[in-house]
Structure 1
């Protein structure tokens, strides 16, 4: 896969120029994704022709920061990058594989001169690293972050947050890790864990997309009600509680 852009390197710089990079060379700055969202995106990508997928990815450049030791650190769009990797696993209309799967990137900063502590302090200060694991535990050390996009774990509550937003339970807002804020909100209310305790699901590391439709709908409806309640006020994209009384 080739977008016709210069290949990103340790000498690339910010300034509006777009580069291309292999998905395999990207370094995550979070430990988890919602695989429900990833798999839905990947399935849509598999149906796109090469020209369609190229146009889609060019209009959605992935922001990165360049660190030392040639680390190309994602600051956003982990789900998109993982979806490209997943799409390349199987037969797809664009003919990409995991060896040539690429995305378009925009370099926010080249901080390759910064060493570990200084680099991660700057990343944390800009809200570009999320040091919590797939169960919401943390903060963890930056060294615990996955080394490859394929190693991102599934956070089922992040998947639930995506379902709720897709059903207009809240709106997308440009806030730091907004979807994870919603995931933690739902996690603290044990929406999935309560079903685990009642033996209604096999485990907490689940995919809502693999549930029976009626079970999935019940969970999403419960979460939407919570998302619209006063308890969620202050979260990014909160739509408010609408009373019909």
Structure 2
């Protein structure tokens, strides 16, 4: 582990994800926000944003966060970004590399049904990640104040799984505002109190 994380400039298209899915609706919202920014604001945003990454086998960089922003930038034809290198694991074999990543909670090998998969199911590029609409729902619930941003790794995926078990896919696909309204309401329920960033009121014993 580096005493001081290194900053590296690299091509965005070469970055590897550490998760199988993203919320494509959230990616679209980030693209819309980027499209509304002027040139100077875009330059400032890129210069101040670092993707946390790990150097892996085969001289590849694996980002461990900000997948939605990275994919949005790719779709907006951004070429180069800055990485904050957390550690260098490039000398490990691939199976051991993924085990170490898993130990540090730097990988989330779960599919769009919330099922854990083998590490080989993780796409080799950001553009190949699958859509999980419940991850988009979780992101918008947080934006609406339904729960707080939390440092727990992949916390919004935990919320996505909570909503997945309680809000039907048909409602989510055909009436997102109604699904969002319901999700915000149940986010404060006692049954959600185990989740990171829960903002409900704890019941007295």
Calculate the TM-score normalised by the size of structure 2.
0.92
Query: Is residue 126 from structure 1 mapped to residue 126 from structure 2 by the alignment?
Result: no
Query: Which sections of structure 2, spanning at least 5 residues, go unmatched?
Result: none
Partners of 1:16 and 1:114 in 2: how far apart?
Answer: 19
Residue 235 of structure 1 is aligned with which of 178, 188, 195? 195
CA contact (8 A) 2:18 2:107 kept: yes
Matches for 1:7-18 after TM superposition, within 5 Å: 15-18=4-7
Matches for 1:133-172 after TM superposition, within 5 Å: 133-138=111-116, 140-172=117-149
Query: Is residue 224 from structure 1 mapped to residue 202 from structure 2 by the alignment?
Result: no
CA contact (8 A) 1:31 1:133 kept: yes
1:135 CA drift (Å) = 1.8
Matches for 1:51-200 after TM superposition, within 5 Å: 51-88=40-77, 96=78, 101-138=79-116, 140-189=117-166, 191-193=167-169, 196=170
1:14 CA drift (Å) = 7.0
1:242 CA drift (Å) = 8.7
Calculate the TM-score normalised by the size of structure 1.
0.77
1:125 CA drift (Å) = 0.5
Partners of 1:107 and 1:148 in 2: how far apart?
Answer: 18
CA contact (8 A) 1:14 1:109 kept: no
Query: Which sections of structure 1, spanning at least 5 residues, go unmatched?
Result: 1-12, 89-95
Computing the radius of gyration over CA atoms, which structure comes out larger, 1 or 2? 1
- Larger helix share, 1 or 2: 2
CA contact (8 A) 2:55 2:88 kept: yes
Partners of 1:62 and 1:192 in 2: how far apart?
Answer: 34
Aligned length: 202
Partners of 2:7 and 2:168 in 1: how far apart?
Answer: 41
Partners of 1:232 and 1:242 in 2: how far apart?
Answer: 10
1:57 CA drift (Å) = 2.1
Partners of 1:220 and 1:71 in 2: how far apart?
Answer: 38
